[in-house]
Structure 1
Amino acid sequence: MLALGLVGIRTRVARAALCALGISIGIATIIVVTGIPASSRRALAEELAALGTNTLQAAPRETNEYALPQNAVEMISRIGPVTRVSAVANVHSLVRRSETVDPLDGSGLTVLAARLDLLPAIDAEVAQGVWLSPASETFPAVVLGAVAATRLGITSVRAGGEASQVMIGDRYFTVTGILAGIRNSPDIDRSVLVGWPAARTYLGFDGHPTVVYVQAREDAVESVRAVLPATIDPENPGMVQVSRPSDALTAKRAADSTFSSLFLGLAAIALLVGGIGVANTMVVSVLERRAEIGLRRALGASRGQIRGQFLTESTMLAALGGLAGVTLGLLATVGYVTYQGWPIVVPLSSVAAGLGGALLVGVLAGLYPSVRAARMTPTAALAAA
């Protein structure tokens, strides 16, 4: 049956190639319209994730009488979907470049007590020097935000060189590092960060955090936000203010939905066009090969054998077109995505759907022509030839 199905393809190579080309273009379209948007979506997702789509901030409501509990970080870390949590606290001190600067001139900067796990919780990095360590957090050492370093005139921290110092209150603190600019936490850029224990020892810090930074699984951000106030302070949940999820999270989910609808629509159109092309080719093939059909029927071929022959030919045409289309689509997708600098993402489901769709289209497109060929009587087929 397979050999008979390939007869028409072998004897009419140009027509078969053009028919397979129609299918291949349709399948390549499926690969391209899934691969390129998937790669674009991955790049968009990474860019939006950098905007803090999974980050929340908890702080006391504006009042001079309330402070977050000292164990707020430990309480939040017990929430299942929470992946990271850290905190800073305003120690209400002024920072100066030296003792010669006006004691009331704090350069618009804030002195914060910081936990060691702060950087990953706010997606921050050290540009120069080093972050606080279990050793340095107990000594008078500071790390400067990017804006704070500029305002204090400290542009570099060199290992082994003379360390820069700043004055907080009436004590000098050694600068151990400078942070890179933080897109999602500009308040940290304008801050001077002191170790949590050092702030207690040298600056009279009482241990109550001012802002708690929380990262959670993206699909559970809203649920975590709902339980944060009661988790931080079960007795006074109304005194805890939690930021709402980033607008970027909504944009990211909307983009996912838009891309999914686009995939389905374009894929359906591509398959429909390919199926019409195969059906048209097979109908013409049946009309041109009536002599062959009549001769085979006269020699004893059954209707089922005639039907199977043309159905096999239709399926093989679509399969060849599907393989060519998958290859063409992969090459086009990889080339375009590489040019754009996006991550290469080709869903395996789209490749499987392309091949499976080609076979399905071949079967459906060949049904009518094969049935029509099988209904021809030997005399009628030979007479019409």
Structure 2
Amino acid sequence: MKIRDLWTEAMAGMLARPVRTALTTLGTVLGITTLVITLGVAATAGNQIVGRFDELTATSVTVEVQENEGSPLVGWDAVDQVTRLRGVESAAAVSEARESANLSVRSNKLVDPARAGAQTLTVIASTPGLPAAVKGRMLQGRYFDAGHLKRADQVVVLGEQAAAMLGITRVDRAPAVFIEGRAYTVIGILGAFRREKGFGGAVMLPPTIGRRYGLRDVTRVLINTSLGAVDLIAGQAATALSPGNEGMLQVISPPSPTRARDGVQDDVNGLFLILGLVSLVVGAVGIANVTLVTVMERVAEIGLRRSLGAARRHIAAQFLLESTLTGLTGGVIGASLGMVAVVAVSAAKQWTPVLDVRLALAAPAAGALVGLLAGLYPALRAARMEPVDALR
């Protein structure tokens, strides 16, 4: 046969029984869909589950301090009280103000057309423990310490992006920057942030000179804890920072292990519920296809029963019962094999098998329901047959 004739015959064969062809095609479609869903949803759920476990490894606690018209809620020395708590690895107090968010900063007073002029940068004040609190690293020089604060030295530390914008790459020659016209010596460049990466474009001042730019009160406290101590520190930090004013401090901490565990369980249950429902649809299409083929093969039997007095409802009830029994049998066998598979996999992986008795009892009923729904169209088609047409 020529390819064109072969194509014509194949199309004619498919279109001769459109419903049967559609059901067969639907089975293939659902099979491929199940494969794609299995791979895609498994990858998506796996990423979600990994993200939830990453939450367990988070050890960062942030305390937001509200503005107070009277005395400040948190003093600059209150960080020392937090670092004494068992489980705290590092902590730092930070002051950020609206008026210091966009200040003019220059690296020199000369106008050089080949280099950038004044930059608009954020200026913040912090305690000496900021590098450890933001999990950063000193790329050049050092961070200011308690001695700088006590002497009120005119020094600053630049974030790595701020230093690049100002053209400062070395601090061994004590370069200066001018903030709103005031000169400060750059003693270090802080970078490689793993927390609060926004500080990379900031200029960091000691609290003793930050007051000039509205940086008087502590607005945030950054705390790093050891693994497993987040919940404990989150409950104690506010009291340690400002006894009696705990309600005015907002503590932000990672989710508790219980929430993460429940989230993982919900993700896994949702994943396999989707896969199970898709598998049930594939099974329903298979039952419908087989029942329809059975109806086509038993046309003579249907015509004979109709001619002997059987009503349409009798024919429909017969095929509905057959498909329901098929689904019920599949549900019983499937539930049994599923439980055996769970026990076998658990034994191979040395896991503790968890079997839901309610699911095992509901599986046969679900199979019968699927069979009943799958047999509706074939049963209705069999009931609509006229005795004369069937016998012909």
Per the shorter chain, which TM-score range?
A: 0.3 to 0.5
Bigger relative CO (Cα 8 Å, ≥ 6 apart): 1
TM-score (normalised: structure 2):
0.45
TM-score (normalised: structure 1):
0.46
User: Which structure would you say has the larger Rg?
Assistant: 2
